[in-house]
């Protein structure tokens, strides 16, 4: 396995680092530009910080995102037993959102009078607080989760050039999660020995026409955490891909992943495999959520499926069976 370098900052002395890195840097992609070029680069760069929750009783994810022309946040809960989906969202047009550059040492919040999600990154833990009022279609949600930084996975950190002069930066970490989410009369307890929150931080200037397919899952194995981050997105030849196999000791680089739907139905399974055979899994959806927005200059067609993974995961020195492990797959088609 290749040895990954460590950097303190994504941009140093006006030059951006590209590659795959062993630790999470200060992510300041705008420090390479000045004047009008900086304004254009800032406007085109989409930033978000979210978590995918891995739990056998619910599927859930949350995101805080800055598209520059609109700041939004979304949160959903799908009860795996009742097959009940609850969705919440909020947006801010007039109030700017500033996502931190040194994420692992700062806080990140999105708040309106009826909707609040916040992340607080502390030296040995991350605190996630959810406080959302009831709507006409869904009950109130309150949540307090503690994510264990000391037993988290190694980070997946990738900085890559993209087509049309774009660039991608992502930082992903799997955290054992403890705490409670209360949704109406339902109470979901998180056990750090089996439940996770997977961080997804992005600061990416994507091509105007963008498509991606992405999936992730994680599980406890002897010695720590195993899982995968799997993606297909616009890329330039020779640039790093946003893929890895998590093992207890590394985020092992992975490339050439394919997603093959095994039917035409919305809930048809997917076969997902890497060309080297290190990932060979089937994702079986239990449900999905979709977002379709047309904002004239921008358009988003997005869907996320939640379900479970089965198959095989091969690290550098060991192989793990994947049996009924919760996870997600998503597809995005957009003009950004």
Per-residue model confidence (pLDDT) at position 297? 56
Per-residue model confidence (pLDDT) at position 295? 60
Nearest to 145 by CA among 110, 111, 182, 112: 182
Core vs surface per residue 128-143: b (16+ CB within 10 A) or e: bebebeeeeebeebeb
The position carrying tokens 């026409």 is 209
pTM: 0.95
DSSP 257: E
Is the pLDDT at 89 greater than 90, yes or no?
yes
Give the residue extent of every domain in the chain: 35-335
Per-residue model confidence (pLDDT) at position 44? 81
Cβ(290)–Cβ(303) under 8 Å?
yes
Is the pLDDT at 314 greater than 60, yes or no?
yes
pLDDT band at 294 (very low <50, low <70, confident <90, very high): low
Cβ(31)–Cβ(180) under 8 Å?
no
Work out the average pLDDT over 179-191.
Answer: 97
Segment (H or E) for 42:
helix 35-44
Work out the average pLDDT over 229-256.
Answer: 94
């Amino acid at each position: 396995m290749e040895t990954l370098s460590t950097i303190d900052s994504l941009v140093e002395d006006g030059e951006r680092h590209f590659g795959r890195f062993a630790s999470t840097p200060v992510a300041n992609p705008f420090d390479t530009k000045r004047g009008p070029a900086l304004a254009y680069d800032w406007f085109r760069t989409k930033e978000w910080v979210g978590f995918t929750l891995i739990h056998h009783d619910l599927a859930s994810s949350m995101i805080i995102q800055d598209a520059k022309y609109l700041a939004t946040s979304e949160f959903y809960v799908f009860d795996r037993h009742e097959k009940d989906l609850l969705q919440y969202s909020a947006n801010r047009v007039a109030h700017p959102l500033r996502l931190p550059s040194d994420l692992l040492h700062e806080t990140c919040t999105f708040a309106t009078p009826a909707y609040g999600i916040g992340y607080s990154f502390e030296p040995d833990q991350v605190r996630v607080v959810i406080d959302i009022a009831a709507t006409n279609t869904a009950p109130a949600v309150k949540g307090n989760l503690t994510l264990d930084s000391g037993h988290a996975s190694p980070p997946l950190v990738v900085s890559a050039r993209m087509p049309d002069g774009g660039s991608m930066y992502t930082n992903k970490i799997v955290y054992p999660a403890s705490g409670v989410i209360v949704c109406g009369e339902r109470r979901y307890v998180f056990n750090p020995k089996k439940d996770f929150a997977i961080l997804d931080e992005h600061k990416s200037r994507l091509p105007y026409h963008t498509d991606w397919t992405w999936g992730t899952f994680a599980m406890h194995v002897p010695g720590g955490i195993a899982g995968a981050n799997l993606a297909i997105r616009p890329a330039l030849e020779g640039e790093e891909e946003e893929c890895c196999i998590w093992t207890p000791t590394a985020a092992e680089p992975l490339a050439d992943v394919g997603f093959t739907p095994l039917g035409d139905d919305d809930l048809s399974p997917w076969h997902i495999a890497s060309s080297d055979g290190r990932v060979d899994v089937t994702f079986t959806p239990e449900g999905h959520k979709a977002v379709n927005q047309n904002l004239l200059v921008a358009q988003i067609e997005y869907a996320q499926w939640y379900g479970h993974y089965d198959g095989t995961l091969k690290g550098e020195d060991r192989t793990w069976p994947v049996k009924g492990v919760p996870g997600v797959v998503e597809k995005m088609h957009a003009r950004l």
